[in-house]
Amino acid sequence: MVTEELMDYIKVQTTSGVGGGKIKEVLRANGWQEIDINEAFKKANEPQTPAVASSSSMLQGQSRPENNNPGTIPGPFSLLKETFLSIKDKLPTLLGILFVPLLLQALIFLLVTVFGAGVSAIFINRGAGFSSSNMIIVFVLVAVFIILSFYFSYLSIIAFVEALSGNEKRKIMDYLKAAGKKFFKVWWAGALMGLIIFGGFIFFIFPGIFIAFSLSFVIFVVITEDVYGLKALLKSRYYVNRARAKVIGRIIFAEAAIFLVSFIFSFLLGLIVKNNKNTFLSLLTNTGNIILSGFVLVYCYRLFEHVRRLKGDEDFVPSKKIEFFYIFLAILPFLIMISALIISIVTSYKTPVVPMVLPNST
């Protein structure tokens, strides 16, 4: 049976650039009959104005509060409501994925505590078996652990978004495996984003702030649309520019709300735990911050879904001017460092060396 939700899903995916063959493959995998799929494709091309439904809610037969007008973005409180319902729909999966960085946080605190105590003991008793080679080994092990913790934390973020955008229920390990395949793409886009934003901050800070907002959807573009590199950054900018003021306003609202909740949470914990340097207090605070970060990620993803459904003035075509500007901003920090190094070397050669005159001892 052809439903409005089925036709809306086809329209959303087609608008996002997904091919017809891929759409049919996903629908078949979710139990739709071939005859219904073909009929829905025909009806989806007819001029209609139904409310656009969420792709994930259509495939799973779940209803979610959506904006009835696909040409607008819901208000910040409506987005908050959608965020709560999205989390409720997939709470066990999302908590399971968040368990990865939470476990890493606990291990890091344990390592820091043990390592700190060990280093203190070594410096206090330098003669008791202390050697520089042992210290090097310890520092290498710590460095490896930090790198691995970064990798798995990043992996959990990608898996988190995969779970939000997924159309079928999967095991947590399946999400993490899928995230592993996209790790380098997301990392590379994130590295470019960091360099470009840093380059923008060099220009009196404000350009960096606006660039940071325009790149808010980069991770979602990479994961959901399989667009990576500089093109992902340009497409994020394209989406944000569809409703720049509303997007920035809703992101600021979310960040301010989360900051307020985090401040209250930390303040109450400080009252409960008298010793502010308590490791357990720090662990609880970081746990709360990770959970709040996950909430913001869901909020921004819901915002991204709405912005993506807006009717754009034209199809996405990367701007060569903006592309070159982003490349310039990305290499700007390196150019400044190289220039400073060259100037320092040249200056040191030009500066005359004044011989030291020793006093006559006689």
Tell me the C-alpha distance between 27 and 244, whole Å.
33
Give the pLDDT confidence of 330-357 residue by residue, as tens digits: 898 888 889 888 888 888 776 565 555 5
Listed as own residue / partner, the contacts of 101-108 with beta carbons closer than 8 Å and 24 or more positions apart are 101/152, 101/153, 101/156, 101/290, 102/287, 102/290, 104/149, 104/152, 104/153, 105/283, 105/286, 105/287, 105/290, 106/283, 107/145, 107/149, 108/145, 108/149
Tell me the C-alpha distance between 41 and 8, whole Å.
10
CB 191 within 8 A of CB 158: no
Mean local confidence (pLDDT), 111-129: 56
Tell me the backbone φ, ψ of residue 124, rounded to 5 degrees: -70, -40
**Residue 250: which of 227, 217, 294 has the closest Cα?**
217
Tell me the C-alpha distance between 322 and 191, whole Å.
18
Give the pLDDT confidence of 174-215 residue by residue, as tens digits: 888 888 888 899 999 989 999 999 888 887 677 788 889 999
Name the helix (H) or strand (E) containing 222: helix 218-225
CB 40 within 8 A of CB 6: yes
What pLDDT is recorded for position 206? Answer: 73
Domain ranges of the chain: 4-50
Kindly provide the b/e burial profile for residues 309-330, where b requires at least 16 CB atoms within 10 angstroms of the residue's own CB.
beeeeeeeeeeeeeeeebeebb
Tell me the C-alpha distance between 39 and 278, whole Å.
64
Please state, as a whole number, how many other Cβ atoms lie within 10 Å of the Cβ of residue 222. 26
pTM, full prediction: 0.67
Give the pLDDT confidence of 50-107 residue by residue, as tens digits: 444 444 444 444 434 444 444 578 888 888 888 888 888 888 888 888 777 667 666 7
Report which DSSP code applies to 19: -
What pLDDT is recorded for position 67? Answer: 45
